Structure 1
Amino acid sequence: MLTTEVPTREQLVGRATELVPLLRQNAAWSEENRRIHQDSIDALADAGVFKLRTPARYGGYEADTRTLVEVAAELGRGDASTAWVASVYWIPTFMACLFPDEVQDEVFSTPDVRVCGTLSPSAMATPVDGGIVVNGKWSFISGAHHAHWQEIIAVLVPPEGEPMPVMALVPISELAIIDDWHTSGLKGTGSVSTAAQNLFVPSARVIPLPAILMGQYASKINANSPIYRAPLLPVASASSVGTVVGLARAAKDAFFERLPDRKITYTGYGSQAEAPVTHLAVAEAAAKLDQAEFHALRLATTVDTKSVDGTPWTLEERVKARADMGQVVKLAKESVEILASASGGSSIYTDVPIQRIARDIQAVNLHALMHPETNAELYGRVLCGQAPDTLYI
């Protein structure tokens, strides 16, 4: 068992802030090469970013979701793709902590272990003696290039009874990586596809997905830790929103860095900063960023408070967590779009960061789990007394 001094939230956020210049420096390389620069990965490891959801007994920090939001928001100011990958690692790492304790011993034997994953059941599995055999492919596997393990979802088809989705952990070395990540946004995430062919997974590393979604976790030791007894979807939602807040902050930084030297062409304004249209734009963008931060922090506070006091989650609280995530995405995207529109024709050059930020926030907005309208519909459905039409709550 490892022991380590756990840094405070302020220290962890401070470390993330110190990484911003490096992440900005490597952002163009990551976008061009469609994966995170190795120097950025190494810097995240040195800062302890990959330990935030690792159990303390393995040298981890067991950080709460408020810390995840604040750290990711700072990383997102530097580079959205890097922040996104860090956030994605936090979610499957949390999921790994739900497996039997002997499985965790294997996973966390790697220092600064990185676990990528998915919630999509796009593979099939058949039962065999001692485990299952998996065949299939998973797309949008962010950070696969730098991961050690992948959490997979497959539909298990038993000889008798109904098919059932299962969650499993497999070493990334046992999967094929398909380099198909050619996109308009979040290019640097390296969200390639992975595939399994007749892959055997021992039964200890397989858990029914419905059990996980209902909070029936297999770890005995982690059951005593507040951060590991929260429902998966609220945890995943809270783990994701910091990057989105960071994107809006990055747009604000980028806009104001260029503002002192900008004019408004074909107008009488010698300085963009003097124009009322600019004042209205930045005020609206800043207000939307403030609102996005409110929803992100409310979501994190709900997850953390309920994790500590151990009160059961109501259905409305579960779907409200997803609604908060959707609002963060919606408001942050609107904030970025206002500033991008006010940045002028010169902002379309690839060396001007705001064009990349606008493409990245659009990619986040299209993500199936983060899409604002999908989350709003689910929330409204439950508020109207209807049953949710998904297990992902």
Structure 2
Amino acid sequence: MEITQAPPRAELVRRASELVPLLREKAVWMDENRQLHPDVIEAITDAGLLKMRVPVRYGGYESDMGTVVDVLAELGRGDGSTAWTVAVWSISTWLTGLFPDEVQDEVFSTPDVRVCGILSPGAMAVPTEGGYIVNGKWSFNTGAQQSTWNTTAAVTPVEGGGFAPVMLAIPVADLQIVDDWHTSGLRGSGSITTIAKDLFVPAERALPMGPVLQGQHRSKLNANAPIFNAPFMATACSIVSAPALGLALAAKDAFLDRLPGRKITYTSYENQSEAPITHIEVAGAIVAIDEVRFHAHRAADLLDTKSRAGEPWTLEERARIRLDLGAACQRAEEAIGILANASGGSSVYRDVAIQRIRRDVQVLNLHAILHPNTNLELYGRIVCGLDANTLYV
């Protein structure tokens, strides 16, 4: 097995930054074709960005969360759908590292394998000899058509009645594809629906979700690796805060790029850049962007610190990661809204980036895990002495 020296954070961020022009060039194509452009996937692969959450024994980098967040934010400066898709691949790749080692051998035998994933249990896994028979469907399956494996959630009956959630590792080729991703934003992510029909999944490719949510797993070889010594939700939520940061930075770039020479129609301002309202709007947006960065980095720093130390997590700490995620998404939408509203009527054309950035962040904020009010309520409940009203913390 290949052991690779992980590039330092600055090097990986530099590689991601160099892809921004390509992502912006292909953004309209990806928006219209509802998937990532092949050149974009090739460039991300060549830059080694798919290796960030791969175990080192398979040639991966086992990058810390701070690195992952900074890299994904740079991708988001180029295109929101790309950042979101790579974020999902990063989470699902990391999750694969929690499965038994023989399952990892199978998945990571494909170099630069792309693993998509779904957290919501959309199927039933009925025990049978040697494994499970799975039936069900999963919507919002980001990047599935451009992935090889899918880590996807289901429920399985347990003794005494009731059901328990499990995570399954399934080759995408075993799933039916429903090309139904016709949406207002994050269109390039290709988050289509997949269906399993009487699909047999071997027992070793089923991972009980209860222990995973608490940071326990079945991999012996990854047991001492810091990045795998973390709860699932803290890891996933920290990662998906990065596209929000990237989109906010993209909006700032897009607005300032178009600012020179623009006037404010039906006013005496021949240069929008000279109007006091513009100064207030730009400064307010930058304050909000700084807050996005703060929350994304605070979550990443907490996760990296506790993972390296092998410390247990309190319920309040896990909920605070979700608080940071919700706040990052909320502030990103606010910043982008300010800049989009100041961009004028011409910004509605499809080749003007700010309208796509705004659509992308609106969809991001509607995601059940990213929704700001849901995350704020969860943290507030716990601070007020109540139990969490969800397993996903």
- Secondary structure of the residue aligned to 2:104 is helix
Structure 1 residue 162: deviation in Å?
A: 2.6
Residue aligned with 2:392, SS: coil
SS in 1 for 2:19: helix
Counterpart-to-counterpart distance in 2, 1:95 and 1:10: 25
Residue 318 of structure 1: aligned partner: 318
AA aligned opposite 1:170: I
Deviation at 1:387, TM superposition (A): 0.2
Q: Give me the whole-angstrom Cα distance separating, in 1, the residues matched to 2:352 and 2:216.
A: 48
Paired residue type of 2:264: I
Report the Cα offset of residue 145 of structure 1: 1.3
Secondary structure of the residue aligned to 1:266 is: coil
- Supply the AA of the counterpart residue of 2:251: A
Deviation at 1:294, TM superposition (A): 0.5
> Contact conserved, 1:84 with 1:189, CA < 8 A, in 2?
yes
**What is the SS of the residue equivalent to 1:262?**
coil
Matches within 5 A, 1:31-110: 31-110=31-110
Structure 1 unaligned residues grouped into runs of 5+: none
Q: CA deviation at 1:63?
A: 0.3
1:207 is aligned to 207
- CA distance in 1: counterparts of 2:23 and 2:63, whole angstroms: 22
Q: Are 2:368 and 1:368 aligned? A: yes
| Equivalent-residue separation in structure 1 for 2:158 and 2:309 (angstroms) | 39
C-alpha distance after superposition, 1:203-245 (max 9, x if no partner):
0111111121122210111111000010000100111111110
Q: Please show how residues 201-350 of structure 1 align to structure 2 within 5 Å.
A: 201-350=201-350
Distance between the aligned counterparts of 2:172 and 2:218, measured in 1? 22
CA contact (8 A) 2:181 2:191 kept: yes
Query: Following TM superposition, by how much is the alpha carbon of 1:160 offset from its aligned partner in structure 2, in angstroms?
Result: 5.2
Identical-residue share of aligned pairs (%): 56
| Gap runs ≥5 in structure 2 | none
TM-score, normalization: structure 2?
A: 0.99
Summarize deviations over 1:116-140 as a string: whole Å, max 9, x none: 0111011111100000000000000
Using the alignment, how far apart are the partners of 1:392 and 1:196 within structure 2?
24
Deviation of the 1:159 alpha carbon: 7.0
| 2:118 counterpart residue number | 118
CA distance in 1, matches of 2:51, 2:215: 23
Contact 1:127 1:158 survives alignment (8 Å) = no
Query: Contact (CA 8 Å) 2:123, 2:136: kept in 1 or not?
Result: yes
- Contact 2:216 2:231 (C-alpha < 8 Å) held by counterparts: no
Counterpart Cα distance in 1 of 2:119 and 2:350: 33
Q: CA deviation at 1:269?
A: 0.7
Partner AA of 1:179 in structure 2: D
1:193 maps to a residue whose letter is: T
Determine the C-alpha separation between the residues in 1 that align with 2:331 and 2:158: 45
Give the aligned partner of residue 391 of structure 2.
391
Structure 1 range deviating more: 209-218 or 254-263: 209-218
Count of residue correspondences: 393
Report if the CA contact (8 A) 1:35-1:187 is conserved. yes
* Correspondence 1:131 to 2:131: yes
Distance 1:344 1:388 in 2: 44
> 1:126·1:158 contact (CA, 8 Å) conserved in 2?
no
Look up the match of 1:189: 189
Query: Residues of 1 paired with 2:266 and 2:50: CA distance?
Result: 50
Give CA-to-partner distance per residue, 1:150-209, whole Å, 9 cap, x none. 011111125753321111101111001110000000000000000101100000111111
- Runs of 4+ residues deviating >2 angstroms: 157-162
Letter in structure 2 aligned against 1:222: N
- Tell me the distance in 1 between the aligned counterparts of 2:24 and 2:262: 22
Q: Which residue is 2:356 aligned to? A: 356
